[in-house]
Amino acid sequence: MAEIQPRDIVVGHGTDARAIAVRQRSGTAPGLFWLGGFRSDMIGSKAMALDAYGAEHGLAVTRFDYSGHGVSGGSFDDGTISRWLEEAEAVFAFAAGPQIVVGSSMGGWLALLLARSLLRRGTPLKGLILIAPAPDMTHELMLKDFTPEERSSLKQLGYVDQPSQYSATPYRITRGLIEDGANHLLFGKVIETGCPVVILQGGADPDVPQSHAIRLTTHLLHDPVTLTLIPDGDHRLSRPQDLKLLTDAVERLVGE
């Protein structure tokens, strides 16, 4: 079995520099490239299921933590879509050959932005797998639902703290994250990926409603799209049957 090669890369310059922790499993193409969600890390169940699939089938796998996440450096409160996309692109430069990018929640938004960037350079992805994808989440899934008190906090304090069922500590949403997100909004125009897209969406997801995934499909006009709705699936989609759907999707894209 191929070993996992740990590495740290520095992204940014001067006071903006942060060490990004990367774990790469050597193997053949197409490689599998993981983009986690907001406040998640590279050792979650979906990321590890992807790594295990790569190990079993001899495929290269790349995982990493965004700044302010997991074991990477930097502050979470400094995080923005631009910042985390910059890190994804920097890590992607170390992934050799055709790649299947798997993005979960916020990672789905970053995956779509990465795919668009690569397509514009003439190097499209082999495929995309989006798990409960949250494109435009800063505006469609956060700001729209803020109470007047939360909007006031965002303006006056520069952040909003919201309780989360996934953590004992609240999730901090900063004004910087919201304002920067406006620079990366995808809805309202055709989304180009240049590759097959598979979407896995839970019907009982309290964070990203299935209507959001359906809306996403209406923007993917030029690429083959498969949307699988899992009626009783939650946001994490980490049950054994959910992980089987993930690896089945990987298998299909590898064979195309």
Please choose, from the candidates 134, 99, 102, the residue with its C-alpha nearest in 3D space to the C-alpha of residue 209. Answer: 134
Task: Please state the domain count of the chain.
Answer: 1
Residue 114 placed within a domain:
yes
Residue-wise pLDDT tens digits, 43-95: 999 999 999 999 999 999 999 999 999 999 999 999 999 999 999 999 999 99
Residue 149 placed within a domain:
no
d(CA 78, CA 42): 19
CA distances from 77 to 69, 172, 173, 184 (A): 10, 7, 8, 19
The CATH number that applies at residue 107 is 3.40.50.1820
d(CA 204, CA 235): 7
**By three-state DSSP, how is residue 19 classified?**
strand
- Confidence class for position 254, pLDDT limits 50, 70, 90: very high
209: which 2 tokens?
């409603």
- Confidence class for position 165, pLDDT limits 50, 70, 90: confident
Whether 35 contacts 102, CB under 8 Å = yes
Determine the longest span between alpha carbons in the chain, in angstroms. Answer: 54
Residue 120 placed within a domain:
yes
- Confidence class for position 164, pLDDT limits 50, 70, 90: confident
Residue 113: its pLDDT value, please? 98
Residue 82: its pLDDT value, please? 98
221: which 2 tokens?
């006009």
- Confidence class for position 28, pLDDT limits 50, 70, 90: very high
Please choose, from the candidates 48, 16, 224, 205, the residue with its C-alpha nearest in 3D space to the C-alpha of residue 128. Answer: 224
Q: Is the pLDDT of residue 1 over 70?
A: no
Domain that holds residue 196: 4-136+190-255
Residue-wise pLDDT tens digits, 168-202: 888 899 999 999 999 999 999 999 999 999 999 99
**By three-state DSSP, how is residue 136 classified?**
coil
